Chains A and B, each alone.
Chain A
């Protein structure tokens, strides 16, 4: 018995001191070793980058300076290069050019080149894998958030958005959600913003008021249905609902909107 107890105690002790969880160690590179540039359009199998008479605006000296790539010169500015500087062609093979960090002058030259997309050019661009990964992740997350809204929100909260998107609300909830889902996927960022946009709810109320004959929508303006009195006139070529929505958002239109909401609640 004594031996068994001792064994159990040892096992317990071992469990207490030996961690069962561990953190994965990542070996991230200290620096980006290779920078890849690519021709945007029509580089063929061999493309010689324009290098004659290139000038850039230099912020530091507030002047226009000529640049050229000379492998043996640390600077890309012609006025800082030696008299014996030898120019070399910068060539893209199959539309690609990989430059190691050990050629900072070539990197500086490419980054300052007027043909670089980053400088407003249209000849070549830097392939930034990190940036594209960030953009893709952000895009996926936004889309996921938009889809979650359709899944989690109550139908009463979804209907104003559905009406704003001109989705027929006189159908089954799932059918409405399906159409909302399509909108959420195609343009997730603006879809999410709609839920916080007071104009969306306001416009849906006005559309409902027209439907329930509280308001009378005509091409030249929005009128009270019962009295036929004009609320706001619509300029030629504009939509009466849009004009009415903007009107309700003004100080003068606020009481009108309150009245519409009150009448809609009476119907419910």
Chain B
């Protein structure tokens, strides 16, 4: 009985094929010919050469919640400092001031917008400023003739006659306002402070992906068992496309940027971009306790959360391990593995360990360290060289923040998807074609479509830390 060979004309037999091959140009030995009819010893399991390659999950693991969006951009509000400092730049330096003498300080107009307290001098007559260790009284304030909202000069006088106003160079000065002092029978102040709020907006971004398979390929089976006895390779490709789409969607939320350079595309502020704009950036690897201390001091200044999830690349993880294992920990400088704060894990240390976190404490802050796959994957942000990595890690506060407008407590990170009236654009998936159940096109194929409209809200970015190394 002849063996059909799909590559030849119907009716051709293996014998005829063998005959045809016997010319000098096409000659093959008998063993090679026999290989065509022998069944190969095939192993049908697919080897996961690179392990689980998906990187999705960082945002959910760090407590980011999902929310529905109903406009082209999402907006949120953040309150400002309760106690504004007296910030000014003298136009003329006032140095070697006499003891007890009143000093007139002429200031450069920083900002004429009274609502922008960050750049506006908000000092009032009778305020008491703490200049170093010298308490001075603001004895007079003169407004700018051009704009009554801006202060052009003010006078200060030490409370104690033996003390003098410290040297005020013509550079940016900043002092706390500790209160005020009034004489008997005097009137109230004429001006008051209006609380400031900062509005942030982030446009939604649209991310898409497709995968196609023809009817012919959809009915082919391969050598590899993809699970549950399914040998159709397109199933694997479709699943990979979906995973790639999910990963890229998350990466856009992490690494995205607002665009002002491309018509029709606004872009969207990603997590790193938000921290680079208004967060804490550590410009190098954290290697010593001194590095942790510098960070902790700044976290204090920003009213930070007591618990942080520290997601880092392998180089940084090893450096922290080295730091914890080195003599630096002598005298309980750092506590490793015996941290007291596991609030983010329902006060369960076991839960933290099960989730792959290693924790250490310093200065009342607990850092739960975890590897970040995204930063280790060589096809994405990973680098085999410590000096080659641009983004090293991030410290995410594991707590909620209070919304200045509504008073609601909200998580630091929020993944927003466009959705309304039951229609969600979180993860749209549909098929077009004429096979595999699709019947909305005449082409002999099916196209798997993926689409998502998303935006990340990074609340209180001043409490988030980005560890990055800008390679010179």
Contact = CB atoms under 8 A, between A and B. Distances in A.
Interface of A: 33-34, 41-52, 87, 89, 91, 98, 100, 114-115, 119-123
Contact of B285 (A49, A52, A91): A52
A120 B290 contact: no
B275 A114 contact: no
A100 B171 contact: yes
B172 A52 contact: no
Contacts of A123: 283, 470, 472
B377 interface: no
Contacts of A87: 290
B294 A119 contact: no
A42 B284 contact: no
B5 to A, nearest CB: 51
A110 B350 CA distance: 46
A44 B294 contact: no
Contacts of A45: 278-280, 462
A50 B302 CA distance: 21
B276 A121 contact: no
A34 B171 contact: yes
B232 interface: no
5 contacts: A48-B283, A52-B284, A115-B472, A119-B472, A123-B472
B320 interface: no
A92 to B, nearest CB: 9
A45 B172 CA distance: 16
Contact of B281 (A43, A89, A100): A43
A136 to B, nearest CB: 21
**Top 8 A-B pairs ranked by shortest CB distance?**
A42-B276, A50-B284, A121-B472, A114-B472, A44-B281, A89-B294, A44-B279, A47-B281
A46 B298 contact: yes
A28 to B, nearest CB: 14
Interface residues of B, number: 30
B275 A44 contact: yes
Contact of A42 (B170, B277, B290, B294): B277
B446 interface: no
B323 to A, nearest CB: 12
A34 B170 CA distance: 9
B348 interface: no
Given A42-B281, A44-B275, A46-B281, A100 B472 contact: no
B276 A41 contact: yes
In this complex, which of A41, A48, A87 has the most chain B Cβ atoms within 10 angstroms of its Cβ?
A48
Contact of A52 (B279, B287, B472): B287
B281 A48 contact: yes
Contacts of B278: 44-45
Nearest to B466: A44
B169 interface: yes
Contacts of A41: 276, 470
Contacts of A114: 472
B283 A50 contact: yes
A100 B93 CA distance: 13
Nearest to B274: A44
B388 to A, nearest CB: 14
Nearest to A121: B472
Interface of B: 169-172, 273, 275-285, 287, 290-291, 294-295, 298, 302, 461-462, 466, 468-470, 472
Nearest to B469: A50
A51 B288 CA distance: 11
B472 A98 contact: no
Contact of A98 (B172, B295, B302, B462): B172
Contacts of B282: 48
Contacts of A91: 294, 298
A44 B277 CA distance: 4
Contacts of B287: 52
In this complex, which of A45, A91, A119, A121 has the most chain B Cβ atoms within 10 angstroms of its Cβ?
A45
B283 A122 contact: no
B280 A43 contact: no
A235 B144 CA distance: 71
A46 B280 contact: yes
In this complex, which of A89, A114, A120 has the most chain B Cβ atoms within 10 angstroms of its Cβ?
A89
Nearest to A51: B284
A89 B466 contact: no
Contacts of B298: 46, 91
B294 A50 contact: no
Contacts of B295: 48
A115 B470 contact: yes
Contacts of A46: 279-281, 298, 302
A98 B171 CA distance: 8
Given A34-B171, A42-B276, A123-B283, A48 B472 contact: no
Given A42-B277, A121-B472, A48 B294 contact: yes
A49 B279 contact: no
Contacts of B466: 44
A78 B367 CA distance: 31
Nearest to A117: B472
A49 B282 CA distance: 7
Contacts of A122: 470, 472
Contacts of B279: 44-46
A114 B472 CA distance: 6
A151 to B, nearest CB: 37
Given A33-B169, A43-B276, 7 more contacts: A33-B170, A42-B277, A87-B290, A115-B283, A115-B470, A115-B472, A121-B470
A123 B277 CA distance: 15
Nearest to A116: B472
A120 B287 CA distance: 25
B462 A48 contact: no
Nearest to A91: B294
Nearest to B293: A89
Nearest to B464: A44
Nearest to B319: A52
Contacts of A120: 472
Contacts of A50: 283-284, 469-470
A111 to B, nearest CB: 14
A48 B285 CA distance: 10
B290 A47 contact: no
B312 to A, nearest CB: 15
Contacts of B285: 52
Nearest to B171: A34
Contacts of B461: 44
A142 B385 CA distance: 48
Contacts of A51: 284
Contacts of A42: 273, 276-277, 281, 468
A48 B286 CA distance: 11
